Amino acid sequence: MEYRKLGASGIEASAIGFGAWAIGGWMWGGADERDAVAAIHASLDRGITLLDTAPVYGFGRSEEIVGKAIRGRRDKVVLATKCGLVWDIEAGDFHFRSDRRCIKMDATEYKVFKCLRPDIIRRDVETSLNRLGTDRIDLYQTHWQDSTTPIEETVEVLLDLKKQGKIRAIGCSNATTAQMDSYRAAGQLDSDQELYSMIDRDRERTNLDYCSRNGIAFLAYSPLARGLLTGAIGPGRVFDDGDQRSGRPRFSVDNRRRVLALLEELRPFADAHSATFGQLALAWTAAQRGCSHVLAGARNPGQAVENAAASSVRLAGDELAAINAVVERHRGGIA
C-alpha cells in the first residue's frame, strides 16, 4: 500500500481509502452490518488506513458501524468524517428531501439542509465523536458548502476544535476553488473531496489543478462511478428497493452497455497487470496529477480486498496516455 500526505497536516494516509457511504444503507438499498464490519477489517488488514464516513450516511448508521469496526484498532486508522449536512433542524440552505425511496431501514422522510453554522458544528462534532467511539477525528471535512454562513466563521470554529485536539486536519468537499481560497485565507485547508473518476472529469481543470498547485490533498469520491466501472453492473442487474442508482440515466440499460463497451476496450490494459476493471479504474484515478487519495466504497470483504489490491497496480506514463485516448473516445456518449 502506498501512503500519501494529507496536505500540510503532517498526517499520511493510504492512497486507496475505504468509503463508508454504502455501508450506511441509505440510498444504497440497505446494507448488512456484519458484511460492513468485515469489509472494514479486510481493508485495514491490507494496509488501508484512510476511512471516510459522514453523519448523513444512514443518518448516523455509517459512523456507528465504522466506530464498531475500529474498536481496538483506532491507532491504525486515519479517520475522516464530515460536518454540515443536518436533518434534525431547518437551517442554512435546503439541500434535498430524502424520501421513502431512498430509505430502506425506516420510512422516515428527512429534509436535509447544508448548514455550517459554528454552533451546529460544535454540536455535531460531539455526536460524531460519540458514534465513532473516539476522542479525535483525523480529518474533519465540510460536506457541502452553505451560502448562509461565512466561511471565515466556519474556519474559526474548526481551528478552535483543532486547538482542543478534537480534530487534526481540516478539509472541504463539493467546493469551488474560490471557496477554497476563502478557507485558506481564513486559516487552513488540508484537503478537498470531489467527484472524480475516469468518466467524471469536470473537476480536473479546477479543483484537481488547484489542489496540486497549492499542496492540498485531493480525495476522489465515487471513483468506480458507483460500481459501473467495475463491470459488475450489466444490463440484467436489478437494483434493490431504495438504491439511488435505479431510475438514473447514468444507470439506464443503454448507458450500462456504453460503459461496458468502454471497459471492453480497456481490457488489454487490465490484463497486462492481471487487474480487474475496478482495480484499473482505481489505479488510473490514483495516478492522476494532484489526486492524492481515492475513496472506494465497498459493501463486503470481497469488494474491499479487491479494491485495496488496486494500490499495487502501477500504470506507466504511456499506458495512462493510451487509456486516456480510449476514455476520450467513449466519454462523450456516456451519461
Active site residues: 57
Between 103 and 225, CB nearer to ligand NAP: 225
Task: Work out which of 298, 308, 309, 315 binds ligand NAP, going by CB under 6 A.
Answer: 298
Q: Which stretch binds ligand NAP (CB under 6 A): 183-191, 264-272, 283-291, 298-306?
A: 298-306
Task: Work out which of 50, 211, 266, 296 binds ligand NAP, going by CB under 6 A.
Answer: 296
Q: Which stretch binds ligand NAP (CB under 6 A): 34-42, 71-79, 108-116, 289-297?
A: 289-297
The amino acid occupying position 59 is: F
36: which DSSP letter?
Answer: H
Task: Work out which of 81, 191, 193, 311 binds ligand NAP, going by CB under 6 A.
Answer: 193
Residue 205 CB burial class (10 angstroms; 0-12, 13-18, ≥19):
exposed
Q: Is the dihedral of CA 104, 105, 110, 114 positive or negative?
A: negative
Between 291 and 298, CB nearer to ligand NAP: 298
- 33-64 as b/e, with b when 16 or more CB fall inside 10 Å? eebbbbbbebbbebbbbbbbbbbbbbbbbbbb
What residues from 112 to 151 belong to the interface with ligand NAP (CB under 6 A)? 143
CB 51 within 8 A of CB 18: yes
88: which DSSP letter?
Answer: S
Between 7 and 227, CB nearer to ligand NAP: 227
**x-or-dash pattern for ligand NAP, window 29-68, by CB under 6 A?**
-----------------------x----------------
CB 292 within 8 A of CB 265: no
Between 230 and 311, CB nearer to ligand NAP: 230
With a CB cutoff of 8 Å and minimum separation 6, the contacts of 62 are 20, 21, 23, 24, 53, 54
On the CB side of 35, CA atoms within 13 Å amount to 15
How many distinct helices (H) and strands (E) make up the chain? 10, 13
Between 127 and 300, CB nearer to ligand NAP: 300
| Site for ligand NAP contains 222 (CB under 6 A) | yes
| Site for ligand NAP contains 295 (CB under 6 A) | yes
Q: How far is the CB of 286 from ligand NAP (least distance, A)?
A: 13
| Site for ligand NAP contains 190 (CB under 6 A) | no
Task: Work out which of 232, 272, 316, 321 binds ligand NAP, going by CB under 6 A.
Answer: 232
Question: How many angstroms separate the CA atoms of 234 and 92, rounded?
Answer: 40
Judged by DSSP in three states, 195 sits in strand
| Site for ligand NAP contains 22 (CB under 6 A) | yes
Q: How far is the CB of 160 from ligand NAP (least distance, A)?
A: 23
Residue 169 CB neighbours (<10 A):
25
Question: How many angstroms separate the CA atoms of 206 and 209, rounded?
Answer: 6
Residue 148 CB neighbours (<10 A):
12
Between 160 and 250, CB nearer to ligand NAP: 250
Task: Work out which of 146, 299, 308, 309 binds ligand NAP, going by CB under 6 A.
Answer: 299
Task: Work out which of 36, 225, 259, 280 binds ligand NAP, going by CB under 6 A.
Answer: 225
| Site for ligand NAP contains 275 (CB under 6 A) | no
| Site for ligand NAP contains 192 (CB under 6 A) | no
List residues binding ligand NAP (CB under 6 A).
19-22, 52, 143, 173-174, 193, 221-227, 230, 232, 278, 295-299, 303, 306-307
